[in-house]
Amino acid sequence: MGRLILAVFGAGRAGSIHARNAVMTGRAEIKWIVDAVPNNGRKLSDELPSQAKVVKFGDHDQVLQDKSVNAVIVTVPSLMHEEVIKGCLKAGKAVFCEKPLTLDSLSTKECFELSQANGKPLICGFNRRFDPTVQSIHDQVQRGTLGQIKSIKICSRDPEYPTGEYAKSSGGIFKDSCCHDIDIICYILKEFPETVYAIGHAFNPDIASVGDYDQVFIVMKFPSGVNASIDMNRKAVYGYDQRLEGMLQEGNLRPTATILNTSDGERQDSLVVQFTDRYKDAYRNEMDHFIDVIAGQRDSIVTGKQTEAVIKIAEACLQSVETGQAVKMDYS
């Protein structure tokens, strides 16, 4: 397969990151940019090596009808994901979509069924799987060199509150933000939790006004006996705080970067300390992976089953907060 022709739906920050990374692979070019605000699309087009055609969302049928377009990158607001994904798949395009893929597990399942029926890949943007430090922990756990994993803890804190408008359209903190942490834990363990419990509160009045939370704690119990916890906060005044710790029989693993504690002491790789750079490599690796999948060079490591499970877990977290009860999971 020659150079891939891509379209980008959504010219915001995420769209810009993915578009630039796709071009940087040297294996793809951006032909179309679709955005509700054409000026945003033109600004992104100006950042690319070759000018892309810019159309307003709602006038994008010509993009879907363009048979030269192999795939679409979807970074529109979460409320619009399902509509765009289904339209692109029906038009015969492969799709990469930012998380959450959709806002409920049923529509997520429908999207993957449509992907399978049309023979076109659909990948959810769980970029942290592609972070080198997370991948290092995943590989060490799977190799079993430090014995059975017993627990995983994640601390995930953003530097600034989202706007109330963003929170309203995002699908809520569990689907919009915690889904990354849920996915990483399930990816490392290769299993899904059987029980989920969550609590939360909104300190920010704008977030509270739309019925969302800005601080949550999640506890998950897995069939293997592993316990996992997530501490998520929408604002930490000291910056972007991302920590993961895996407790194993013979040691303790935690990035960033990978820190290994054993009876022999502690070893630490070089740190990635800048907020803007934290997941730079992950985004690049993720887009390279997507292009590999489109080109038929490999299967996606982000499957439909896994993506559906993550959204079901996020739904269970919300149910738990609202009821004050632990939720027994059903993945059928």
Do residues 176 and 303 share a domain? yes
Count of the separate structural domains present in the chain = 2
Same domain? For 99 and 211 the reply is no
Same domain (yes/no): 84, 35: yes
Please tell me whether residues 176 and 110 are part of one structural domain.
Answer: no
Residues 117, 151: one domain?
no
| Domain end (from 71, 96, 125) | 125
Q: pTM of the full predicted structure?
A: 0.92
243: nearest Cα among 266, 259, 219, 262: 259
CA distance 174 to 234: 11
Residue 187 contacts residue 159 (beta carbons within 8 Å): no
| Residue where a domain terminates, one of 74, 98, 125 | 125
Find the domain containing 241 and state its range.
129-328
Read off the amino acid at residue 28. A
What sign does the dihedral 113-116-118-121 (CA atoms) show?
positive
Are residues 225 and 216 in contact, defined by beta-carbon separation less than 8 angstroms?
no
- Residue length of the chain: 332
> Which residue matches tokens 């769980």?
126
Same structural domain, 81 and 170: no
- The reply to whether 91 and 154 lie within a common domain is no
Provide the residue-wise pLDDT of the chain in tens; the chain has 332 residues.
689 999 999 999 999 999 999 999 999 999 999 999 999 999 999 999 989 999 999 999 999 999 999 999 999 999 999 999 999 999 999 999 999 999 999 999 999 999 999 999 999 999 999 999 899 999 999 999 899 999 999 999 988 899 888 998 999 999 999 999 999 999 999 999 999 999 999 999 999 999 999 999 999 999 999 999 999 999 988 778 888 999 999 999 886 544 555 667 666 554 333 444 678 999 999 999 999 999 999 999 999 999 999 999 999 999 999 999 999 999 99
Whether 226 and 81 map to the same domain: the answer is no
Phi-psi region of 201 (alpha: psi -120 to 50; beta: other; left: phi over 0): beta
